[in-house]
Amino acid sequence: MFFIGPAIVFTLDKVVSLQTKYMELDILDTELLPSDVTRVKFTRPPNFKYLSGQWVRLSCTGFRATEYHSLTLTSAPHENYLSVHVKAQGPWTWKLRNYFDPSNLHESMLPKVSTKPERGLSCVLIFLVHENLECLT
């Protein structure tokens, strides 16, 4: 009986995931910051509007395609790019930080943020749709 509550939450999460918008975006820039934080900056699609504090679910198929991480957008709605800051704490976030380490990275290696799995590292951004969020693709 104790598994009914978590099962309901899991089911609701899957239903919400089916009602999401997917966009393919380019990674503009990455920066390794102090305290094991990595900033990842993406292109902002035209006509994409969001609210401060909006969050995304990020997955990198090069690490584990089924593992999603919820991250808050750290760019302001008036800026012409989207960004997230990722604190390296677990295995997935450390792999992400090490991947963008300048000693391992070449300009041509920057992956695309994509909804389609590709060879190598690709990332998936899933934008949750809210009533007051307009997302035109």
Residue 3: what pLDDT?
86
Residue 117: what pLDDT?
31
So where are the chain's domains?
A: 4-127
| Topology (CATH) of 4-127 | Elongation Factor Tu (Ef-tu); domain 3 (2.40.30)
Residue 73: what pLDDT?
87
* DSSP track, 50-92: --TT-EEEEEETTT-TT--EEEEB-S-TTSSEEEEEEE--SHH
Distance of CA 44 to the CA centre of its chain: 13
Q: Is the dihedral of CA 41, 47, 48, 50 positive or negative?
A: positive
**How is residue 105 annotated by DSSP?**
-
Note down pLDDT in tens along the chain; length 137 residues: 788 988 998 888 777 666 665 666 777 888 999 999 999 888 887 777 778 778 777 776 566 656 777 888 899 989 999 889 999 998 888 888 888 887 875 554 555 443 333 334 445 455 443 333 333 33
Residue 55: what pLDDT?
79
- Global pTM reads 0.65
